[in-house]
Amino acid sequence: MDLPASDTPTLHAIVLAAGASTRFGSPKQLVRIEGRPLLHAVVSRAVEVAGHSVTVVLGAHANELTALLRHTPATVIVNREWEEGMASSIRAGLAQVRGAADGVLLMLADQPGVSAADLRRLAGAWRRQPDSILAAQYSGIAGVPAIFPRWAFQDLSGLRGDRGAQVLLQRYVDRVARLRMPSAAVDIDRPEDLLAIETANPKGAPT
């Protein structure tokens, strides 16, 4: 439903960046694409969409990554339970969400192709149907980035292990709206993933 501007649903972005990058062999959050550290670029895009309502969840390599985000308006926290898996970072990030937020945007730190324009399209689509979960559609699946309304916060807080929000996208499949976002299909897990990105797009990822 369309809402008056004064009633526009508010959004808090959570950037999940706590992983150890085991398969990559070094902190992939520090990889430079077009001369810019990946995590810095991802957080900047989140800020473009959510303003100061952005939380970055770190874990492994927290000292190095905290320094990288010294000048960001985002709130940076360290998840001491990061080894449990992604669910622990979702819980840690959600604990920072202020009561006024009507939805949370969950983002990963290793999807370099997701641009600020993609995130704005996602946020715009969600604000037109704020009672739905709004997920990116790519590679035949619904996934993150995704926006979860307030009614899903308790479920997010109850997640455990390494499966993350995908559990809720399956549990509430009838309440999930999808937005086509091919750029979200590209992620960086191994060095060859980065090489493929650089080969396919020598000028780097979108901003």
Q: Go through the domains of the chain in sequence order and give each one's CATH number.
A: 10-200 (3.90.550.10)
Q: What is the pLDDT of residue 204?
A: 47
Q: pLDDT digit string (tens) for 75-105?
A: 999 999 999 999 999 999 999 997 779 999 9
Q: What is the pLDDT of residue 24?
A: 73
3-state secondary structure of 116: helix
Residue 200 binned pLDDT confidence (cut-offs 50, 70, 90)? low
Q: Determine phi and psi for 82, rounding to 5 degrees.
A: -60, -25
Its sign, for the CA torsion 56, 61, 62, 67, is negative
pTM value is 0.90
Selection from 10, 14, 11 nearest residue 159 by Cα = 14
Distances (CA, A) of 6 to 2, 3, 9, 148: 12, 8, 9, 21
Judged against a pLDDT cut of 50, whether residue 2 lies above it is answered with no
Q: pLDDT digit string (tens) for 111-142?
A: 999 999 999 999 999 999 999 999 999 999 99
Distances (CA, A) of 53 to 76, 97, 124: 11, 8, 16
Q: How many CB atoms lie within 10 A of CB 28?
A: 26
Q: What is the pLDDT of residue 3?
A: 43
Distances (CA, A) of 191 to 51, 107, 113: 32, 21, 16
Q: pLDDT digit string (tens) for 165-187?
A: 999 999 999 999 999 999 999 88
Residue 115 and residue 206 in contact, taking contact as beta carbons nearer than 8 Å: yes
Q: Averaged over 179-201, what is the pLDDT? A: 79
Distance CA 153, CA 183 (A): 26
